[in-house]
Chains A and B, each alone.
Chain A
Amino acid sequence: MVKPTSKWLTLSQLVRVRLMLQDGNWVQSIPAFFLDCRRSKVFPALRCCGSCHINDFAKKLPQKLRFLLRATLKENSLDESPKTEKSDSSIKPRSQLSRRTFLGNIATVGIATTAAPLLQVGELDAQQVHQPLTDVTEAPATSVGTVPVTLKINGQTKNLQIEPRVTLLDALRENLGLFGTKKGCDHGQCGACTVHVNGRRVNSCLTFAIMHQGDEVTTVEGLAKNGELHPVQAAFLEHDAFQCGYCTSGQIMSAVALLKEPCGKDDDAIRECMSGNICRCGAYNNIVAAVRSVRGAA
């Protein structure tokens, strides 16, 4: 029996999995981390119920690796109770720390130097990844057409080597490992990508990172201070203002900015001022309640 040696699948294990399957369709060899949930269409999978792909993927693995995967996921409380030998009834679909850190580690080794999709992970040299996210001070200068871009994100200076066509959203997610900001529509129509630039809320998908050198960019990761949640974050928790959570960071960033904008007093005004953020789960009533409570307390 192969025992897992680390808390999460290492890159070498991922690569080995891909090679061993040899089924001609390498997309299926990528763990659910990198897939869209087929049911709710959110990315990455495991965001909503946490169970969709794991069993599909696991069934395709050879026995040895199947155990490895299940043990790894179980350790991170990411598997659902399987019908296999290791039945386990504890289901915690969202082990934020392990997945986020795992993906963050990919950024640390400088894998995404341009807007390349994470699917390319499998093709790189295998490396053990354990370190938490650190500043990306220098990415390998392998890509033609990249230029140095310096951004100030949540008070920290970040030096990137990226193409001009990398949007601010993609720079945050793919190059800086800040996954709190989400890509929903990528066309400025859903608001999931909302961040603050110099204190003003904007759609980060519709602007290029290179255009924001010298600007102060705030993402959802930068709201809490000294471990204390921003009042809007706390209000969203208190009022149950999210279900799947995918729109939530954009909603929170919008609501925080709204506090400093001229917006009418009643709920209709809140709805209008929040109209740039859509929620497919329909958590609107609670979102309005959360925003109302923060404004009332102000």
Chain B
Amino acid sequence: MSSIEITGLTMRFAQTPVLKDLDLQVRTSTVTAILGSSGSGKSTLLRCLAGLLRPEQGVIQIGSTVVFGKGIWVPPERRGIGLVPQEGSLFPHLSVGDNVGYGLRGRNSGGRIAHLLDLVGLPGTSAMRPHELSGGMQQRVAVARALAPSPHVVLLDEPFSALDAALRDDVRQDVFAAIRATGATAILVTHDQEEAFAVADQVAVMMDNTIAQQAPPAEVYLTPVSLDVARFVGDTVLVPAHGTGACRAKTALGELPAQDPTSSGASGVLVFRPEDLQITGDGPVLAHAAVSSVSYHGHDTLLAARAGEQELLIRVLGRQAVAAGDDVTVRVTRPGVFFG
């Protein structure tokens, strides 16, 4: 299978940049999620990779083959790439089996089609028509179709966003199990941070038309490279702070722990995740705060609280006997990340 190497990719639509000097490395047989808000250029990146759009500058290499570079342009049909579009886009005039077999040229296609339909959990549907399938089934077929010619790379363009939340997890799990079973390198474009974290080996956060950070999910979440990335990938508690030169930062709530040494005197902000703050246990005390609202999510509860001028968000497991107006002692369980 193939690794992917993108360097200096640049593209504009009518003078508006959509990709700015973008670099991305993807290791063979891994799943990489490209996480970005709408308009961040993530779909454009995917389409450049597939060969459906031609960028202006840069190099795209798939495996050992340069598919785009100075004077080089490999059309999509010769890139060995599978594409799963947002709405599946099954060929409406072909049966399910013919859809899956579309990219197979005379090879033992009957057996291959049956095998792939098994793989995506839809055995025996070969003779059905696309319109007879539910949305989730259509997406499974679209994945089988993309995998049929044994592509080195599979590109998925927000393939689960049109599905019901209840269905989404199952389809997602089965689809990535099928992709991993083939060993193909997969790139998933999504705006859903939970989805990216759940399925990907690597998450590439796309902001302002370039990759802001590429790392394993936990690293992106726990040690984001910028405040923007921190805020984009999850809820944050922002505490204005000054650096001290040590792994601490001065704030209105006192000195608080930071992950890395903070540059002395630099003013900035110390970022915590809501679950870094707790109202029980024995971490260092951050503040005494008044709870202003409680939102209960079943598996966890999100508390909004206020300590002087400082707004705090606290995520606690399960249900806590706390109501709006209660006073709580907030403790820090993990050092914050300082951005100067």
A and B assemble together: no
